[in-house]
Amino acid sequence: MAENLVLDPVTRIEGHLRVEAVVENGKITDAWATGTLYRGVETVLQGRRPEDAFYVTQRICGVCPTSHGHASSMAVESAYGIKIPNGARLVRNIYECAENLHSHILWFYILAALDYVNPAKALTANISDTIDLAKAAGTGISDFAAVQERVLALVQSGDMSVFSNGWWGIDPVAHPEEADELYNPDMPAELHLIGVAHYLEALEMQAEAARVMALLGGKFPHGMTSVAGGTAWVPDSTKLDDVLYRVKRVAAWVDGTMIPDVLAIAPFYTAALEFGGGCGKFLSFGLFNDADLDMNSRYFPAGYIDVDNGLKVDTVDTSKIKEYVKHAWYTSPSGLHPQHGETQAISSWNDSTFDLDGQYTWAKAPRYDEKPAEVGPLSRMLVGYLSAGADPAIKGIIDFALGELGVDDPTLLVSLLGRVAARVLETKLIADQTIAYIVELVEAVKTGEAKTFAEYDSHDGEGAGFWEAPRGALAHFVNVKNGRIENYNVVTPSTWDMSPRDDNGVRGPLEEALVGTPIDDIERPIMAARVARSFDP
């Protein structure tokens, strides 16, 4: 018998998401993803100066504002024919690296970890055994006794706060066995304690990455410096010393804690290699510019993979992007390229407006070559893994992780566990690359080749900025007429991944990833929540 499953809201994400699914014989057979918040930034920007978009579009997100700022500046630079100088390129790369470090650490520990680590079980851990396990796993050793005391104090106060798991309707202290069934009962209490301890450390590490962004951007979130033409932040030795110290601190923690943590926890969730894969099509616009500023020569390469056509990377053709709105709450024409896309929202909304057979979301449905495409760290890592010219470190770290899991088939990365692991592994690569960019910028400062801004004249034109936010492929499109924005459009990673069905009825990537997900208890569908959160909506 078919049953309906509803997650509303999906918690521990940035934004507003509802998921509805049909469950038959213990598995999801159909699913719908609903973005429940209207963005409207495109409408706000009409008639403003093009440079205003840098400030306004950052307000789309409090976690990835830097990426929106960069994509917006790149769109204006494209419209005006501006080429930013090398110093600006390096500053932007470092700035973007810091945002990715902040976002990846925050996502893995603060948002996703509680799907895999049970704080209540950490109370039963033996401290001596915990230290031994941490040493064996090669992960960070904390004051585990103090962490246990902190969790116990929360329990005794009657307020477990974010550790309560109350969303699942279980008191993990009063009913530990029932709560433990949501996780893997074979995972030792000591590993749960390690996870909780590093959850608390992650709060400081993501803050340290945010401090780097504040140094480069003047504040965080919503920085002020990466404007069209380059950057208003001028590097010198003192500033770069401060940035390098903080980045090295984060990088050491990623090496010594974050990577070992995922390698220690993942073996208890290898069943997640068998579902959550999604549409099998992956898109990346590339991340971190080389000196030529070409999206095809970025550190993480641009590329498109359709697994149905084999494990090969095709060059991205941005003219193949279209947005469909048949199942979204818009009256705009469907199937437009986003350079000339329109954002005409329906005039009113009530309960009857929500119709799974009709319109059911505020998200449009972007398609590449008429197909849905997953974007994000898994896409970037797969494209890098399969691209001949990419940094060998990308392939090396994936092969290392597959070896640790005892897996020799890279297609198994197209799964829930693969998506989680890809983001953590990418964090290590980004941390190392941040240091490399800082060293490169130091040398540019020494040789007087660190110019950070290019003067320009405004004129009519249209342009696009293709970039990557931590969550995935991001594009801003601007049309300028008489010195003002005539039209603006943003296609975010979450729009790609959480898209509804398109005009042909084809599901979006999250919707497709949910199909086949096992559901043991429809009242506590933690697997569905894990799949949804793996995309970092």
Q: What is the reported pLDDT for 88?
A: 98
Whole-number Å distance between alpha carbons of 97 and 247: 10
- Partners of 488 in the beta sheet? 478
What is the chain's Cα-based Rg?
A: 23
Are residues 363 and 225 in contact, defined by beta-carbon separation less than 8 angstroms?
A: no
- Residues sharing a CB contact under 8 Å with residue 505, sequence separation 6 or more, in sequence order: none
One-letter amino acid for residue 416 of the chain: L
Whole-number Å distance between alpha carbons of 435 and 441: 10
DSSP 8-state symbol, 63: S
Whole-number Å distance between alpha carbons of 192 and 280: 32
Nearest residue to 162 (alpha-carbon basis) of 127, 191, 205, 200: 200
Are residues 87 and 235 in contact, defined by beta-carbon separation less than 8 angstroms?
A: yes
Nearest residue to 418 (alpha-carbon basis) of 304, 313, 302, 274: 274
Phi, psi dihedral angles at 20 (to 5 degrees): -125, 140
Q: What is the reported pLDDT for 235?
A: 96
User: 137, exposed or middle or buried, with CB in 10 Å at 0-12, 13-18, 19+?
Assistant: middle
**How would you classify the pairing of strands 27-35 and 281-284?**
unpaired
Taking only the tens of pLDDT, the chain with its 537 residues reads 899 999 999 988 988 999 999 999 999 999 999 999 998 999 999 999 999 999 999 999 988 999 999 999 999 999 999 999 999 999 999 999 999 999 999 999 999 998 999 888 898 999 999 999 999 999 999 999 999 999 888 777 766 666 555 445 666 667 777 777 788 889 999 999 999 999 999 999 999 999 999 999 999 999 999 999 999 999 999 999 999 999 999 999 999 999 999 999 999 999 999 999 999 999 999 999 999 999 999 999 999 999 999 999 999 999 999 999 999 999 999 999 999 999 999 998 888 899 999 999 999 999 999 999 999 999 999 999 999 999 999 999 999 999 998 888 889 999 999 999 999 999 999 999 999 999 999 999 999 999 999 999 999 999 999 999 999 999 999 999 999 999 999 999 999 999 999 999 999 999 999 999 999 989 889 999 999 999 999
- Residues sharing a CB contact under 8 Å with residue 264, sequence separation 6 or more, in sequence order: 133, 137, 139, 191, 194
Torsion over CA: 412, 534, 222, 75 (sign): positive
CATH number for region 3-114+206-534: 1.10.645.10
Q: Using alpha carbons, list the distances in angstroms from residue 230 to 88, 89, 95, 457, 473.
A: 5, 7, 12, 14, 21
Q: What is the reported pLDDT for 62?
A: 87
Joined together, the tokens standing for residue 32 give 């719908």
Q: What is the reported pLDDT for 408?
A: 85
- Centroid of chain to Cα 395: 20
Element holding 334 (H helix, E strand):
none
Burial 437-448 (b: 16+ CB within 10 A, else e): bbebbbebbeee
- Partners of 375 in the beta sheet? none
Q: What is the reported pLDDT for 14?
A: 86
Whole-number Å distance between alpha carbons of 245 and 251: 10
Q: Would you call 150 helix, strand, or coil by DSSP?
A: helix
Are residues 17 and 33 in contact, defined by beta-carbon separation less than 8 angstroms?
A: yes
Strands of 339-443 (E only): list them: 365-368
Are residues 159 and 152 in contact, defined by beta-carbon separation less than 8 angstroms?
A: no
Q: Would you call 478 helix, strand, or coil by DSSP?
A: strand
Q: What is the reported pLDDT for 166?
A: 47
One-letter amino acid for residue 325 of the chain: V
Whole-number Å distance between alpha carbons of 311 and 313: 7
Delimit the domains of the chain by residue range: 3-114+206-534, 115-201
Q: What is the reported pLDDT for 349?
A: 85
Q: Using alpha carbons, list the distances in angstroms from residue 98 to 434, 435, 453.
A: 8, 10, 21
- Read out DSSP for 87-135? HHHHHHHHHHHHHHHHHHHIIIIIIIGGGT--HHHHTT--HHHHHHHHH
Phi, psi dihedral angles at 270 (to 5 degrees): -65, -20
Whole-number Å distance between alpha carbons of 476 and 198: 36
Q: What is the reported pLDDT for 170?
A: 67
